[in-house]
Structure 1
Amino acid sequence: MLREELVELLSPEGLTLLDSLPPYESQRDVMKLVASLRADGHSPALVAAVLTQAKLRAKAGGPGGKFGEFAGRMLFTEAGLEQATRLAVAARHAVRYRDAGIHRVADLGCGIGGDAMALSALGLEVTAVDRDEVTAAIASYNLAPFPDATVEQGDAESFDIARVDGLWLDPARRTAGHSDTRRLTDSVDWSPSLDWVFNAASRMPVGVKLGPGFDRELIPGSAEAQWVSFGGQVAELVLWFGSLARPGITRAALVIGGSGAHELTAPADSDDEPVGELGAFLYEPDGAVIRARLIGDLARSLGGRMVGDGIAYITADEARPTPFAQCFRIIERLPYHEKDLKAELRSRGIGTLEIKKRGVDVDPAKLRTRLALKGKASATLILTRVAGRHTALLAERLPVQKSEL
C-alpha cells in the first residue's frame, strides 16, 4: 500500500465507504461493485483502496482467519496480515507478560499491531514501534480503541529500552514492502538484528517470535524455546528470556486446535525411544512436538516405540488419547513396489487416497497420479522405513483424540 492510498483510505469518505461495503464475494460481484462505486463519483484510487481492504478483512475474519470478528474494524496490508500473529496465539503471549508482573511493554517491529492489541487488551501499557510509515499508521488505527497503547514510527534498535519493563520482538525477516516481499536469510540483516535481540535479552525480560525452522544451534541456553502449532500447522518459534521463561523448561510444544490448547514441556530435548516392532497403531506427532524434539517423551506417554532411527513416527499396540499426535490404525503392510501397490489398492476399490511419507524419497502427488486410483473407498497410505526397510502401510485415520496427557 502506498502512502497516497492510505491517505485516501483514512479520510472520512474512505472509512465510511469501507464500512458500508457488502461482504466480499466473487470477482464478478466485485466488478459490479467497482462500476457502481465509480458511478457514484468515487475516485479510482479510493475504490481500489477500499476494495483491497474489504478483501483483506474477509481473509482475516473468515474461516481460518487470524483475527475473527475483530477483523471487521481493522486495517491491513497484504504482507502485514501474512506476517501477523494469530490473535488466539497473541493472547497467550500477552498472558506471559501479565503473569510475570510486567506493566510496560515495547512491541518492536509491531507490524499491523496484532500482538500489541493482545497486550493492550490485558491492560498493559504498550509502545508499538515500526520503521515503515504506512505500517505504523495502520497499527495506530488498529490500536486506537486502547487508551494505553501508543505507536511510534522508528527503528527498533534505536528505541530506548529503559522506557519499558519488557520487550516483545518480531524481527523483520523480509525485505521492505507491503506485498511480494522476500525472506532475508542472514540474521544480521533482520530488523532488529539477532545480536541486538540477544543483547537486550541479557538485560531484561524479552519474548522474540521467530520462524519455526530457526536454526536450533543459535538458541541460547538461557532461553525457553516454545514451538507453537495452530490447526495442525507449526506457526512460530518463540524464545522467552528472563522472568518470561518458565523455570526448568527449555523446550516446549504448544498445540492449539479444536480441543483447546495443550502443551508438552521438558528441561531439554528428549531422548527417542528405541526402535521396536510395528504395532497395530501408528502416531504422527504434531509438528511442534517434532520441532521441539519431544518425540521420545510423547512415545513414552503412549507406551510406544520408534518406527525407525531418525523417523518421526511412533508405533504402539493400543490407541491412547492424545492431542499431540494423529493416530492411524494399521490395516495391512503392503508391498512397497509401485506396481504391487497399484494392484492392491485397485483390488480394494480405493479411489481416494491420502499419502503420507517420512524417510523415503517420493512425491505423493506424482505417485497418486501414477496409481490411477478407482473406486469409492478411501484410505491412508503411509510410506516410511520400518526398522530400516522401506515399507508401505495401508492405514485408517482415527478421529482426533481430545484428552490431554
Structure 2
Amino acid sequence: MDPAALAKLLDQDAWALLNALPPYEEKLAMVLSERLRAKGFDPDVVALVLTQSRLRAKAEPKFGPFADGMLFTPAGLEQATRLVVAARHAQRYLAAGIDRVADLTCGIGADSMAFAGVGLRVLATDIDEATAAVATVNLRAFPEAVVRHADGLSLDFEAEGYTSGSGGIYADPARRTSSGKRIFDPKAYAPALDEVWALRSRVPAVGIKVGPGIPHEGLPSDCEAQWVSVDGDVVEAGLWFGPLAPDGHGRTALLLRTHDGQTAGRTFRSDGVDSLPGATGPESVSDTTGLGGYLYEPDGAVIRAGLVADAARALGGRLLDPTIAYITSDLGPEAADGGTPDISLATGYRILDTMPFGLKRLRSYLRERDVGRLTIKKRGTAVTPEQLRGQLGLKGSAEATIVLTRVAGAQHVLIVDPLDRPATDRPTPPPAAEME
C-alpha cells in the first residue's frame, strides 16, 4: 500500500464506509462494488475499502474480533504473529522483569499490540513508510506505544534506555521477497538474522521470530529455540536470549490448544536422554510384532524441534522406524501422557490391522469391508494418496483411515482408528483370525 492510497483510506468518509461494510463475501464483492460506485463513491476508495474488508476477513483467524478495527497489507498479514502467540511473547518479557520493548521490525504491529496490551512501553519501528503508518493506525488505542518510520537496527539502544536490565528488543525479520516468495536462508532475511542476534552483546533480553523451517545447525548455543503450534498447525519458531530464556537453552516446543474459546499452552522440552527408542539396541523394531496397540503422530512443533524421541519416551512407546516420526505404544493416551486431554504431544490412533504394502492386497482388503471413504496418511513413502485412491476404486459405504509408512525399513499399511472419534462412530476391529 502506497502512502497516497493509505491517505485516501484514512479519509473520514472512507474510514466510515469501511467500518460500515457487511461481512466480506467473495461472491458478493463485485455486486457490492458496483452498488457503491452507483451511490457516487470514488472507484479508488471503493477498491481500497473492499480490499481491506477482504483482508480483515482473512485476518480473523489470527486476530479474532480485533481484525475489524485494523488495517492490513497482504505481506504484513502473511507474516503477522497470531495474537494468541504474540501474547505468549509479551508474557516472556513481563516474566523477565522487562518494562520497555523495542520492536525493531514491527510490520503491521501485531506483536507491538500484545506488548502494549500487557502494559509494556513499546517503541515500534519499520523501515517501510506505509507499513509504519499502518502500524500507527493499529496501535492507536495504546498510548504506551510509539511508532517510527526507521531502521530498527540503527536505534541508539543506550540513549533509548534499552541496555538496562528493564529493556528488551524484539525482531521479526522479513522472510519473503517483494514478489512474495518465501525466504529460507536466514542470511537473506531482512534484516539478516546474524545482524539481529548480534544485538545480544548490547541488550541481554533479545527475542527473534523466525520461520519454523529454520535449520538447527548454526543456531546460537546460548538461546532457547522454541517451535510453536496452534491447534496442531506449526506457525513459527522463536529464538530467546538472556532473561527471556529462564529455563535454560536448547530446543523446546510450545503447543497451544483452543477449547471453548480459551487457549491453553504446554511447553515440551528434551528429557536429556540421548538414545532413540526403537532405533538401536534391544528396543529396536525388527518386524511388525514390534507394533503396539496405538500409533502416535507427534505434533509438528515437536517434530520441528527434534524432540520425537523425547515424545516417544513420554508416550511410553518407540519409533516405528529410526527415520520416521511415528511412534507406536501399548498405552492409550490418558495412561501414556497423563496431561490435559486437549493438550497432547501427538495425534493418536488405535491400530486395527497391518499388512505389507501391496496394491492388490489392499484393494481386496478394503472392498471386503465395504470401504468407500478413505483417509490416507503417509510418511516415509513415495506413494501419492490421490493416485492411490484412484487405483483402489472404492465404492462402499464404510469409512476407514490408513497410514502408509515404513516399519523397521519395510513398507507397510496400518489400518487405524482416530482416538478422537466418538466411540459410536468407531469401526469394529476385524476378528483376530483376519489380522495379518
Instruction: Sort the TM-score into its range (normalised by shorter chain).
Output: over 0.9
The percentage of counterpart residues that share the same residue type is 49
Offset of 1:201 from its aligned partner? 2.1
When the two structures are superposed, what TM-score results if normalisation uses the length of structure 1?
A: 0.93
Q: 1:228 to 1:268 in 2, by over 3 A?
A: farther
Once residues 248 and 195 of structure 1 are traced to their aligned partners in structure 2, the CA distance between those partners, rounded to angstroms, is: 21
1:234 alignment partner in structure 2: 234
2:253 alignment partner in structure 1: 253
Check whether the contact 2:14–2:49 (CA below 8 A) recurs between aligned residues. Answer: yes
**Aligned partner (choices 365, 377, 381) of residue 386 of structure 2:** 365
Offset of 1:400 from its aligned partner? 8.0
Which amino acid is the alignment partner of residue 196 of structure 1? E
Check whether the contact 1:356–1:383 (CA below 8 A) recurs between aligned residues. Answer: yes
Once residues 135 and 88 of structure 2 are traced to their aligned partners in structure 1, the CA distance between those partners, rounded to angstroms, is: 20
Matched, 1:296 2:295: no
Which amino acid is the alignment partner of residue 59 of structure 1? K
Q: 1:296 to 1:400 in 2, by over 3 A?
A: farther
Once residues 155 and 269 of structure 1 are traced to their aligned partners in structure 2, the CA distance between those partners, rounded to angstroms, is: 43
Which amino acid is the alignment partner of residue 325 of structure 2? A
2:182 alignment partner in structure 1: 183
Trace 1:95-114 onto structure 2 (pairs within 5 A).
Answer: 95-114=91-110
Which amino acid is the alignment partner of residue 329 of structure 2? A
Once residues 400 and 97 of structure 1 are traced to their aligned partners in structure 2, the CA distance between those partners, rounded to angstroms, is: 39
1:52 alignment partner in structure 2: 51
Alignment partner of 1:171: what SS? coil
Matched, 1:345 2:366: yes
Alpha-carbon deviations, 1:201-254, whole Å to 9, x = none? Answer: 233211101111101102111010110011211111101001001233422111
Offset of 1:99 from its aligned partner? 0.8
2:428 alignment partner in structure 1: none
Check whether the contact 2:402–2:414 (CA below 8 A) recurs between aligned residues. Answer: yes
1:41 alignment partner in structure 2: 40
1:374 alignment partner in structure 2: 395
Which amino acid is the alignment partner of residue 94 of structure 1? A
Check whether the contact 1:251–1:268 (CA below 8 A) recurs between aligned residues. Answer: no
Offset of 1:36 from its aligned partner? 1.6
Once residues 93 and 400 of structure 1 are traced to their aligned partners in structure 2, the CA distance between those partners, rounded to angstroms, is: 34
Once residues 214 and 188 of structure 1 are traced to their aligned partners in structure 2, the CA distance between those partners, rounded to angstroms, is: 11
Worse overlay, 274-283 or 46-55: 274-283
Once residues 298 and 43 of structure 1 are traced to their aligned partners in structure 2, the CA distance between those partners, rounded to angstroms, is: 58
Matched, 1:121 2:120: no
Worse overlay, 373-382 or 102-111: 373-382
Q: 1:318 to 1:268 in 2, by over 3 A?
A: closer
Trace 1:3-402 onto structure 2 (pairs within 5 A).
Answer: 3-27=3-27, 29-61=28-60, 65-162=61-158, 163=160, 164=162, 165-176=167-178, 180-203=179-202, 204-259=204-259, 260-266=264-270, 271-274=275-278, 275-276=284-285, 277-321=290-334, 322=337, 323-399=344-420
Offset of 1:130 from its aligned partner? 0.8
Offset of 1:258 from its aligned partner? 3.0
Check whether the contact 1:335–1:341 (CA below 8 A) recurs between aligned residues. Answer: no
Alignment partner of 1:264: what SS? strand
Check whether the contact 1:249–1:267 (CA below 8 A) recurs between aligned residues. Answer: no
Which amino acid is the alignment partner of residue 315 of structure 1? T
Q: 1:350 to 1:394 in 2, by over 3 A?
A: same
Once residues 420 and 233 of structure 2 are traced to their aligned partners in structure 1, the CA distance between those partners, rounded to angstroms, is: 18
Once residues 307 and 356 of structure 1 are traced to their aligned partners in structure 2, the CA distance between those partners, rounded to angstroms, is: 15
Which amino acid is the alignment partner of residue 308 of structure 1? D
Once residues 84 and 421 of structure 2 are traced to their aligned partners in structure 1, the CA distance between those partners, rounded to angstroms, is: 21
Which amino acid is the alignment partner of residue 124 of structure 2? A
Check whether the contact 1:251–1:267 (CA below 8 A) recurs between aligned residues. Answer: no
1:2 alignment partner in structure 2: 2
Q: 1:254 to 1:115 in 2, by over 3 A?
A: same
Check whether the contact 2:186–2:214 (CA below 8 A) recurs between aligned residues. Answer: no
Offset of 1:296 from its aligned partner? 1.8
2:427 alignment partner in structure 1: none
Worse overlay, 261-270 or 380-389: 261-270
**Can you give the 5+ residue segments of structure 2 that lack an aligned partner in the other structure?**
279-283, 338-343, 423-436
Offset of 1:337 from its aligned partner? 0.8
Worse overlay, 259-268 or 4-13: 259-268
Once residues 108 and 400 of structure 1 are traced to their aligned partners in structure 2, the CA distance between those partners, rounded to angstroms, is: 45
Check whether the contact 2:256–2:266 (CA below 8 A) recurs between aligned residues. Answer: yes
Offset of 1:167 from its aligned partner? 0.8
Once residues 4 and 248 of structure 2 are traced to their aligned partners in structure 1, the CA distance between those partners, rounded to angstroms, is: 51
Check whether the contact 2:356–2:411 (CA below 8 A) recurs between aligned residues. Answer: no
When the two structures are superposed, what TM-score results if normalisation uses the length of structure 2?
A: 0.87
Offset of 1:268 from its aligned partner? 5.8
Alpha-carbon deviations, 1:56-101, whole Å to 9, x = none? Answer: 111212xxx1000111111111111111110001001100001101
Alignment partner of 1:252: what SS? strand
Offset of 1:318 from its aligned partner? 2.2
Q: 1:249 to 1:194 in 2, by over 3 A?
A: closer
